[in-house]
């Protein structure tokens, strides 16, 4: 078994220079997302492109989701931590205190989210195009990663979900596919919708690790180096702030929200399915070259992020965690995934393209990769035993287009298999 905290051999006097270089790579330059990546015809569910699609009056598009109180990380001001002890483990996790009854405003927002066909991986992204760290930042160009901006919010959260244990010093970084919104038990007062049943908690319990889980629904690679602002105006520090020289294990699952990839794909394809533009309206709205350009940008962002982790925690074992199979290889389920049947191969190819981009980024960054795609085979939205929630209003087990508890257990098992391999 590879030693946790294997030394990467970087000299201390070189790390400062490399860190500055990675910061530049992750921050990138500011550009109009509408002019690069997926075309506006596909991006249409975001603020860029809805008018070009003729969907400016879209009632449940991604733009609406950006205004719901739905993305945060850490405890709210005044919240009190509780102690959570996973059954049969030695890990104790300090999490936010869940209220049994969430405010009506939060529940109403979740009801809306449960109906959102355009949600994709975003949960309720606070980022425009998956590239903003706050509302005053625009997306990056292909040559750089998302810009990290400062927030104009006057309310700031500085705490995160932490743990104590005798095992590895573990930091979990990621978006909603790590946070696992609405997987029991999720604190509805926490805008990140981070579940204490997500895979970082399961891994920490198995290892007896000291866990700091900063995963947050809506996070992009820009959220790793810059402030992420919640939909209720609360700003949270960069996820990288959780990394220290003492960190010995880091899992990173990020990239799905960059460039509005999955929110654009699912949301745009759902809307185009009713446009009367043939069997493949979503695939017809873009080109292979444009999709590859978007995926190449994400690959660059994720690689810079992974290298940034290594610079901040040089003794840590870093694992890049991929994304699951969301749509089926064949067949369809219009009630759960209401897209044009002819577009399913295109959507699956983008789903696989994101996974491949993360895997290639891991390879280029020199870190290990956790193959979630393989681990979730046969458990897509349309499967007999789905591990991904479809378009449903039932929010008791998972958010629409997000993982169930079974998927999180499978990811945890895959992470542990790599660690113990």
Whether 109 contacts 69, CB under 8 Å: yes
Pairing mode of beta strands 92-96, 81-85? antiparallel
Peptide bond connecting 26 to the previous residue in cis, omega within 30 degrees of 0: no
Q: 355 to each of 30, 157, 199, how far by Cα in Å?
A: 25, 31, 18
Structure tokens at 190: 């926490």
Query: Whole-angstrom Cα distance, residue 331 to residue 327?
Result: 9
Q: Which of 140, 176, 263, 264 is catalytic?
A: 176
Stretch (H or E) spanning 156: strand 155-156
Whether 257 contacts 290, CB under 8 Å: no
DSSP 75: P
* Strands (E) located in 214-288: 228-229, 234-236, 249-253
Q: What is the dihedral of CA 87, 89, 95, 98, to 10 degrees?
A: 0
Task: Tell me the H-state helices in 128-190.
Answer: 176-179
Query: Whole-angstrom Cα distance, residue 382 to residue 55?
Result: 27
CA dihedral over 163, 82, 80, 149, signed as positive or negative? positive
Cα 63–chain centre separation: 18
| Catalytic residue check, 379 | no
Q: Which of 62, 301, 379, 402 is catalytic?
A: 402
Query: Whole-angstrom Cα distance, residue 303 to residue 315?
Result: 18
Query: Whole-angstrom Cα distance, residue 182 to residue 401?
Result: 12
| Catalytic residue check, 402 | yes
Pairing mode of beta strands 317-321, 249-253? parallel
Any idea which residues carry the catalytic annotation?
A: 176, 402
């Amino acid at each position: 078994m590879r030693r946790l905290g294997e030394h990467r051999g970087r000299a201390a006097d070189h790390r400062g220079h490399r860190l500055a270089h990675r910061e530049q790579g992750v921050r990138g330059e500011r550009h109009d997302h509408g002019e690069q990546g997926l075309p506006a015809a596909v991006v249409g569910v975001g603020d860029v492109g809805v008018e070009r699609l003729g969907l400016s009056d879209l009632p449940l598009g991604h733009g609406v989701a950006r205004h719901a109180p739905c993305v945060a990380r850490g405890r709210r001001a005044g919240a009190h931590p509780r102690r959570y002890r996973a059954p049969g483990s030695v890990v104790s996790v300090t999490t936010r205190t869940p209220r049994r009854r969430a405010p009506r405003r939060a529940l109403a927002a979740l009801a809306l989210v449960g109906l959102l066909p355009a949600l994709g991986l975003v949960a309720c992204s606070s980022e425009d195009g998956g590239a903003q760290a706050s509302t005053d930042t625009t997306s990056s160009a292909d040559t750089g990663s998302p810009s990290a901006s400062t927030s104009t919010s006057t309310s700031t959260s500085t705490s995160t979900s932490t743990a104590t244990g005798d095992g590895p010093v573990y930091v979990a970084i990621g978006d909603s596919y790590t946070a696992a919104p609405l997987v029991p038990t999720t604190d509805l007062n926490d805008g990140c919708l981070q579940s204490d049943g997500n895979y970082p908690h399961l891994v920490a319990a198995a290892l007896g690790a000291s866990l700091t889980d900063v995963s947050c629904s809506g996070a992009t690679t820009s959220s790793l180096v810059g402030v992420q602002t919640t939909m209720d105006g609360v700003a949270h520090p960069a996820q990288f702030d959780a990394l220290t020289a003492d960190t010995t294990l880091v899992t990173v699952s990020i990239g799905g929200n960059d460039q509005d990839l999955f929110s654009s794909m699912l949301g745009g394809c759902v809307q185009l399915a009713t446009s009367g533009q043939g069997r493949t309206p979503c695939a017809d709205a873009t080109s292979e070259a444009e999709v590859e350009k978007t995926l190449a940008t994400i690959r660059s962002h994720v690689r810079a992020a992974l290298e940034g982790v290594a610079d901040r925690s040089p003794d840590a074992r870093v694992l890049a965690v991929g994304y699951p199979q969301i749509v089926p290889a064949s067949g369809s389920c219009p009630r759960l995934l209401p897209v044009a049947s002819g577009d399913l191969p295109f959507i699956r190819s983008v789903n696989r393209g994101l996974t491949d981009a993360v895997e290639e980024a891991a390879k280029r960054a020199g870190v290990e990769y956790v193959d979630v795609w393989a681990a979730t085979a046969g458990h897509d939205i349309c499967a007999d035993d789905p591990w991904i929630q479809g378009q449903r209003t039932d929010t008791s087990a998972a958010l629409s287009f997000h993982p169930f508890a079974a998927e999180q257990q499978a990811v945890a098992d895959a992470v542990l298999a790599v660690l113990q391999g």
